Structure 1
Amino acid sequence: MPTTTAARPESLSRLAQELLPVLYTHRLLTAAQLNRLLRPTTASSRYLRRQLQTLHAHGLADATVRRHNRAGELLWYATALGADTLEAGHELPTRTYRITAQAAASALQEHTLAINETGLAMVEHARRTGDECGPLSWDMEVVHRVRDGNARHGDEAWLTPDAVLRYTRTQGNERRLLSFFIEVDRTTMSVARLAAKLHAYARYATYIPQPAPGRSRQTTAGDLVQEAWRERYPTLPRILIVLTGAPEPVLARRAWDLRALAAANTRLQRAVSRSPIQAGVTSLHLLAEHGPFAPIVTPLLGEDTTATDVLLQQRSA
């Protein structure tokens, strides 16, 4: 049984100290995923597994068995004590959601792992190309308000991407900070529901918070109040829908079905016409195999259907 007293961070190995923030931030990972994130040049995960066991012995991390896995693979997560230890250090943003033993063992396992696999694909490409995207470069389920007041249904006032990912691309002397709203679909969600998410993103892109009672829409500096996203991001993040959980031909058809449905949705098109959103869809396999800057992305909005990269820029003729 793990102890109830947390080890001092300095008493842990360097790798163990790196593991705990990753587990806290990304909720649920396999040892193999952790090894790829933190020890990419080492094929064996034996040493990393020993450090996970050390965290477990101190009550800072725990593991659950992966469902529907005959080999009994373990999935690791930070315990409440591990989360408390990290939050006490004030080195990471405090997460509003903490994974519990029940959640770790639930049917959400594969979706969580697929989100982290998407982040890993971006990290591994960055390493190959000299870009910047590290083990803590994505945050899961960041909540964004998309309307004022109370909605009739609990989630209508909020947009919660599966992850928000940050990536710095280097080309010569130019560095470009990119951010993405990541949505992962394991072919468990209807195409109509995916299209509805696009509408929520369009609302967020144009959402201007209502001023407090008695205040005007101008700030104390005299500037007009702007869209809410400008307080959080230098530019509006691009939307990247990542498909997995089926053969590539099935995923390709699903991508085109999503584009067709988005094009036929007049309510969505009206919302898009008033917003600066950019959205595309690809598969996890293509992202991992070719990287984000290959022509692997099908644009979901606009007239151009030419495959492009995650920048979603129309190519000149």
Structure 2
Amino acid sequence: MSLETTESTASARPAGLSRLGQILLPALYQHRLMATSQLHRLFTPHARRPVYLRQKLQELRVGGLVDATARRTARRGNPELLWYLTARGADAVAYDPTLPRRGYRISPQAAGSQLQEHTLTVVDTGVAFVDWARRLGDECSPLDWEPEVAHRIRDGESRGGTEAFMIADAVLRYTHTAADGRRRMLSFFIEVDRATMQTTRLAAKLAAYARYQHYVPAGGSRSRSSTREAWRDHYPAFPRLLIVLTGPSDRVLANRVQDLRALAAADPRVSQLAVGVTTLRLLQDKGPLAPIATRLSGDATPTDVFLNPSGGPCA
């Protein structure tokens, strides 16, 4: 979704702003922290340089709606700016009924913390889907993924070391249009792994997804609703899980895939999940329809991220 195609997105935004400014605010509200380069790719992709984008961001900054911090991993001399909403900016768009309410608002301290890279990698994953949707004639907009989505996986509060919620790094929606015109709407749980945690911890997150797939909230009576899985209230079908690896060398990431497959094979609950694992570089370079993913269970033949063999068309 570029600036030229976002007229409807700009409705119900704060008055007195440029159209681009009205589009940037909800994106920053939903995604919390975004680099200038990411915003450029999403909203002004046809411009060679983000001159106009930087001008509008600065106008929002002067108006007290956004602020920026330097990227911690940037080279000295010319650090990339990372943008986020101020409290005033968040209040200006929080009323919009088209946006999911965000209970968590990023602070200047959090924006400058070591959490930067994880947040930006989630955004990079969403940007890759948007980029390829444009090329392929599919649909995935800058607001079609939502970060840090909590899902209850047990009744009551957390106790005994068992968490009450499974928190997905993001939930992403993508609509694929096949060559014959058939359309398929898909949802993904996105887990970003920068190889900063032990593989066993990531496997524990997979087990939480498996619990969510079968979690039925406790009911007061034996009604039909008491046997209905909780996810059915949010998704038309249980989302695929896509693990996106980035960080170390390709060899290290390939070993990580094999370790995850071994751990998944040892847990019958996880083996029932539709899980694919790929790298951010493959997703960016080859796109979601290419054979870039490896299933965590069963056949290890490369597939597209929809988990169709050999990168074939969606069923």
TM, length-normalised to structure 1: 0.89
1:233 partnered with 2:235: yes
What per-residue deviation string (whole Å, max 9, x for no partner) do you get for residues 109-155 of structure 1? Answer: 01111100000110000000100001111000110001112331576
Mapping of 1:83-102 within 5 angstroms?
Answer: 83-102=90-109
Cα RMSD of the aligned pairs, angstroms, is 1.6
Letter of the structure 2 residue corresponding to residue 287 of structure 1: L
1:306 partnered with 2:301: yes
CA gap of 1:74–1:156, structure 2 versus 1, over 3 A, is same
CA gap of 1:185–1:57, structure 2 versus 1, over 3 A, is same
Q: Which residue of 1 aligns with 2:8?
A: none
Q: Which residue of 1 aligns with 2:211?
A: 203
Q: Which residue of 2 aligns with 1:174?
A: 182
Q: Which runs of 4+ in 1 moved over 4 A?
A: none
Write the distance in 1 (CA, Å) between the matches of 2:191 and 2:255. 18
Answer yes or no: is the 8 Å Cα contact 2:264–2:270 preserved in 1: no
Deviation at 1:10, TM superposition (A): 2.6
Write the distance in 2 (CA, Å) between the matches of 1:50 and 1:94. 28
Write the distance in 2 (CA, Å) between the matches of 1:133 and 1:155. 35
What per-residue deviation string (whole Å, max 9, x for no partner) do you get for residues 259-312 of structure 1? Answer: 12221x2xx21x246x5x2001100000001101111111002x2111111112
Write the distance in 1 (CA, Å) between the matches of 2:21 and 2:162. 37
Write the distance in 2 (CA, Å) between the matches of 1:297 and 1:126. 17
Write the distance in 1 (CA, Å) between the matches of 2:173 and 2:296. 21
Deviation at 1:252, TM superposition (A): 1.4
Query: Between Structure 1 and Structure 2, how many residues are aligned?
Result: 295
Write the distance in 1 (CA, Å) between the matches of 2:24 and 2:152. 31
Q: Which residue of 2 aligns with 1:36?
A: 41
Q: Which residue of 1 aligns with 2:254?
A: 252
| Residue aligned with 2:72, SS | coil
Write the distance in 2 (CA, Å) between the matches of 1:304 and 1:90. 43
Q: Which residue of 1 aligns with 2:19?
A: 14
Q: Which residue of 2 aligns with 1:130?
A: 137
Q: Which moved more, 1:64-73 or 1:13-22?
A: 64-73
CA gap of 1:134–1:249, structure 2 versus 1, over 3 A, is same
TM, length-normalised to structure 2: 0.90
Write the distance in 2 (CA, Å) between the matches of 1:96 and 1:155. 23
Deviation at 1:84, TM superposition (A): 0.5
1:185 partnered with 2:193: yes
What fraction of aligned residue pairs are identical, expressed as a percent?
A: 56
Write the distance in 1 (CA, Å) between the matches of 2:32 and 2:185. 25
Letter of the structure 1 residue corresponding to residue 190 of structure 2: I
CA gap of 1:61–1:153, structure 2 versus 1, over 3 A, is farther
Q: Which residue of 1 aligns with 2:57?
A: 52
5+ residue gaps, structure 1: 1-7
Answer yes or no: is the 8 Å Cα contact 2:242–2:278 preserved in 1: yes
* 1:216 alignment partner, one of 207, 210, 222: 222
| Residue aligned with 2:123, SS | helix
Letter of the structure 2 residue corresponding to residue 178 of structure 1: L
Answer yes or no: is the 8 Å Cα contact 1:210–1:217 preserved in 2: no
Deviation at 1:65, TM superposition (A): 1.1
Answer yes or no: is the 8 Å Cα contact 2:34–2:120 preserved in 1: yes
Answer yes or no: is the 8 Å Cα contact 2:302–2:309 preserved in 1: no
Q: Which residue of 2 aligns with 1:4?
A: none
